[in-house]
């Protein structure tokens, strides 16, 4: 059922398990309250080069007037400046906001307390398993949270008067050699009773290093992790850990947002984790699932990853050969359909997305065509429920056209599409049954599309530049007519394409140009040249070839039905200038001497043109000798 009850979720990205699960919990809880969700995500935290130069473009997409509130998953943002920009925008919009974070809180917040359980985990090791020397393996890539858990363990050890010195602490990189170094660091003073790791990922990698050295877990020492993950629970024995109830956090954030919208939110809502004793501490719990099935699942995931990578490379190659944007949309449609991941897929482009800079268009004389309204967005590609919908424009205040949203309960995932400093528009995607099956590989579709649009944009820009360079080379800077190179390059085209029984070679010479320039300056001389150029442009047809070769000489190559018609055209040029002189207040008259030579069209080739213009020039010289000496008034 269509409704305007909508909340936004701002999140750094969606291919991380934490971000995806938090958003899934929020989407499910919002649906229970009768609200749709729009998830605005970027690629924060991944070095994608030119693809992340404008991550803050995410803030240009939503129209906050149509949002009832927002959940801001602010904790995982690696780019703190982006986090600050989103914070400032949400404050400026004055809509209800609930934040998911555990530091630098700017809004009513939902906080996950699982680091605090580090002391409970340490107490379990001491009281249940008799551990006295407990080591801590931290993680440098996530130092803030790693230090937080270190401080909790350090406080516990001090409170219980247990040893905890430099030999009991190590912060590692995610590198096999560093895990081995951590093991040697801990065992230099003897084998510890237990090693508590920053999270399950670190614990499993450290377990591998210990196994290579011949240690047996938990026979030689206990091992624990945190932030329970699937891999650790499918090991044998399963990893002792602390739960990471991220879906519950997302759901709690929406509940808190509903309270905030009705004026009853608490400043901080806490979601508590739970201790999960496993076999690696010595409790002897069996694995949750089948190790064989888990290995098969990982194998299938690897196979699918390889397949998608290959599809992405093929897609990029096909897009690089697409001659225009419409052909590119056909390529994208085919690959998106083959992937089969999305229920909805929409590519929306902003006005002028493919236009070069205004100054380039002005220099090249390129018209932008009919100007779209600034509030219009172009729905360039729309795939919904297996059908491709027609291209259309809609008002920018809506994320998608009303006819699409009217009967949709989809949770839309929105990502900006840009390359470098050029912002094209945005992608809107939805998954079947609102299951957020988003993976890092989905970023490949986004980068392929951004690169394709950038190629189209660059083609337009290079075309504008080439038009300008061509104009500089082939056009006369004073009159805008062709110059000698431009004339010579195009004269063959006139012979082959313009209709007419005769070919006319006409030459014009501006009378007394030197005298005008000497008396009134070169600016007035240029004005006289420009006036003659305007006369030629006005009288001759667009398909005729008019040029200023040099100085005061103008060449015209045209076709006519007869020599008499060609001669009348020359007279029309003279008449145009005479009419100009009658209306002009200039202290001089603009006039030309003319020469004309014609031949039957079937007898003329390009080789004949030089001789024809030589004859026209002779005719011009003859006419010039009969002219008065001065054209000053």
**Most confidently predicted of 106-115, 220-229, 262-271, 418-427:** 220-229
Report the chain's mean pLDDT, rounded to a whole number.
88
Mean pLDDT of 128-135: 96
3-state SS, residue 610: helix
Confidence of residue 131 (pLDDT cuts 50, 70, 90): very high
Nearest one of 580, 589, 579 to 630, comparing CA atoms: 589
* pLDDT of 362 strictly over 90: no
What's the rounded mean pLDDT across residues 46-55? Answer: 52
Of the pLDDT bands very low, low, confident and very high (cuts 50, 70, 90), residue 35 is very high
Mean pLDDT (whole number) for 593-611 = 94
- Taking alpha carbons only, the member of 611, 589, 591 closest to residue 599 is 611
Least confident of 73-82, 365-374, 396-405, 594-603: 365-374
The tally of CA atoms less than 13 A away on the side-chain side of residue 222 is 28
| CA distances for 393 relative to 386, 390, 457, angstroms | 21, 10, 20
pLDDT higher than threshold 90 for residue 570? yes
Least confident of 167-171, 182-186, 346-350, 627-631: 627-631
Q: At what angle do helices 513-520 and 522-539 cross, to 10 degrees?
A: 140
pLDDT at 369: 44
- Predicted confidence (pLDDT) at residue 373 exceeds the cutoff of 60: no
**Confidence (pLDDT) at 469:** 67
Half-sphere exposure of 199 (CA within 13 A, CB side): 20
pLDDT, one tens digit per residue, over 475-511 is 898 998 999 999 998 899 889 888 889 999 999 999 9
pLDDT for 294 equals 64
pLDDT for 53 beyond 60: no
Match 């107490």 to its residue by tokens. Answer: 123
* Residue 216, phi then psi, degrees to nearest 5: -115, 125
Distance from C-alpha of 60 to C-alpha of 156, rounded to nearest angstrom: 47
Of 474, 565, 581, 587, nearest in space to 521 by CA: 587
Helix, strand, or coil (residue 127): helix
The H or E element containing residue 194 is strand 194-197
Q: Residue 266 has what pLDDT?
A: 72
Structure tokens at 280: 């690696």
Q: Check residue 54 and give its pLDDT.
A: 66
Q: Mean pLDDT throughout 275-283?
A: 92
Q: Are strands 109-113 and 275-276 parallel, antiparallel or unpaired?
A: unpaired
Question: Would you call the peptide bond into 237 cis, given omega within 30 degrees of 0 as the criterion?
Answer: yes
Hey, which bits of 298-371 come out as E strands?
342-349
pLDDT tens readout for residues 509-519: 999 999 999 99
Can you give the pLDDT at residue 375?
Answer: 62
pLDDT at 136 over 60: yes
Better-predicted residue by pLDDT, 316 or 354:
316
pLDDT of residue 289: 59
**Dihedral over alpha carbons 139, 141, 145, 150 (to 10 degrees):** 30
Residue 420 backbone dihedrals phi, psi, to 5 degrees: 60, -125
Listed ranges 5-14, 108-117, 130-139, 256-265; the one with the highest mean pLDDT: 130-139
Mean pLDDT of 530-557: 94
Predicted confidence at residue 47, as pLDDT, reads 46
Determine the average pLDDT of the residues in 235-259.
93
3-state class (DSSP) for residue 254 = helix
Lowest mean pLDDT among 10-19, 42-51, 474-483, 537-546: 42-51
CA 440 to the chain's CA centroid: 16
pLDDT band at 465 (very low <50, low <70, confident <90, very high): low
- Percent of the chain predicted with pLDDT > 70: 90
pLDDT of residue 293: 64
Mean pLDDT of 209-232: 94
Q: Contact, 170 vs 180, CB < 8 A?
A: no
Which structure tokens are listed for 84? 């600050």
Six-digit token string for 363: 């220099």
Asked if the model's pLDDT at residue 410 lies above 60, the reply is: yes
Q: Are 417 and 424 in contact (CB under 8 A)?
A: yes
Inform me whether the pLDDT recorded for 344 exceeds 80. Answer: yes
Ordered by where they begin, the domains of the chain are 113-246+272-291 (3.40.50.2300), 484-625 (3.30.70.270)
Pseudo-torsion of CA 569, 571, 575, 581, nearest 10°? Answer: 120
Burial of 389 (0-12, 13-18, 19+ CB in 10 A): middle
């Amino acid at each position: 059922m269509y409704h305007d009850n909508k909340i936004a979720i701002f999140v750094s990205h969606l291919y991380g398990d934490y971000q995806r699960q938090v958003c899934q919990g929020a989407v499910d809880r919002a649906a229970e309250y009768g609200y749709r969700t729009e998830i605005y995500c970027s690629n924060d935290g991944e070095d994608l080069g030119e693809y992340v130069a404008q991550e803050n473009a995410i803030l240009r997409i939503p129209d906050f007037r149509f949002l009832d509130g927002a959940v801001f998953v602010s904790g995982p943002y690696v780019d703190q400046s982006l986090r600050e920009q989103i914070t400032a925008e949400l404050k400026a919009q004055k809509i209800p906001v609930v934040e998911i974070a555990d530091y630098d809180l700017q809004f009513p917040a939902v906080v996950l307390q699982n680091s605090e359980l580090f002391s409970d985990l340490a107490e379990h090791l001491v009281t249940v398993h008799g551990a006295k020397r407990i080591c801590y393996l931290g993680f440098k890539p996530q130092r803030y949270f790693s230090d937080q858990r270190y401080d909790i363990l350090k406080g516990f050890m001090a409170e219980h008067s247990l040893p905890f010195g430099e030999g009991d602490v190590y912060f590692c990189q995610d590198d096999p050699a560093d895990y081995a170094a951590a093991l040697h660091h801990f065992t230099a003073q003897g084998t510890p009773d237990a090693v508590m790791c920053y999270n399950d990922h670190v614990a499993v990698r450290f377990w591998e290093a210990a196994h290579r050295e011949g240690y047996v877990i938990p026979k030689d020492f206990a091992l624990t992790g945190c932030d329970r993950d699937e891999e650790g629970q499918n090991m044998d024995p399963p990893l002792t850990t602390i739960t990471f109830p991220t879906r519950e956090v997302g759901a709690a954030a929406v509940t808190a947002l509903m309270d905030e919208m009705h004026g009853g939110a608490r400043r901080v809502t806490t979601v508590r984790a739970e201790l999960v004793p496993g076999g690696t501490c010595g409790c002897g719990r069996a694995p949750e699932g089948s190790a064989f099935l888990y290995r098969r699942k990982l194998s299938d995931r690897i196979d699918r990853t390889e397949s998608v990578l290959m599809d992405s490379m093929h897609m990029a190659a096909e897009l690089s050969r697409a001659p225009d944007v419409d052909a590119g949309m056909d390529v994208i449609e085919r690959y998106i359909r083959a992937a089969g991941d999305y229920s909805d897929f929409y590519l929306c482009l902003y006005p002028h997305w493919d236009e070069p800079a205004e100054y380039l268009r002005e220099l090249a004389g390129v018209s932008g065509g009919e100007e779209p309204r600034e509030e219009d967005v172009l729905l360039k590609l729309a795939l919904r429920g297996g059908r491709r919908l027609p291209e259309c424009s809609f008002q920018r205040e809506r994320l998608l056209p009303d006819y699409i949203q009217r009967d949709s309960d989809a949770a839309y995932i929105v990502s900006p599409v840009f390359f470098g400093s050029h912002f094209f528009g945005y992608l809107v995607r939805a998954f079947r049954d609102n299951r957020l099956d988003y993976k890092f590989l989905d970023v490949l579709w986004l980068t392929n599309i951004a690169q394709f649009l950038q190629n189209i944009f660059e083609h337009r820009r290079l075309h504008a530049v080439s038009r300008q360079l061509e104009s500089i080379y082939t056009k006369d800077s004073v009159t805008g007519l062709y110059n000698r190179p431009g004339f010579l390059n195009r004269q063959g085209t006139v012979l082959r394409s313009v209709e007419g029984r005769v070919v006319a070679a006409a030459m014009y010479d501006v009378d007394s140009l030197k005298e005008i320039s000497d008396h009134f300056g070169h600016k007035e001389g240029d004005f006289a040249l420009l006036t003659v150029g305007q006369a030629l442009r006005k009288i001759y047809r667009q398909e005729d070839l008019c040029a200023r070769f040099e100085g005061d000489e103008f060449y015209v190559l045209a076709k006519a039905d007869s020599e008499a018609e060609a001669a009348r055209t020359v007279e029309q040029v003279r008449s145009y200038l005479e009419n100009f002189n009658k209306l002009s207040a200039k202290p001089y008259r603009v006039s030309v001497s003319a020469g004309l030579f014609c031949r039957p069209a079937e007898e003329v080739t390009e080789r004949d043109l030089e001789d024809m213009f030589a004859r026209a020039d002779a005719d011009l010289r003859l006419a010039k000798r009969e002219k008065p000496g001065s054209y000053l008034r």
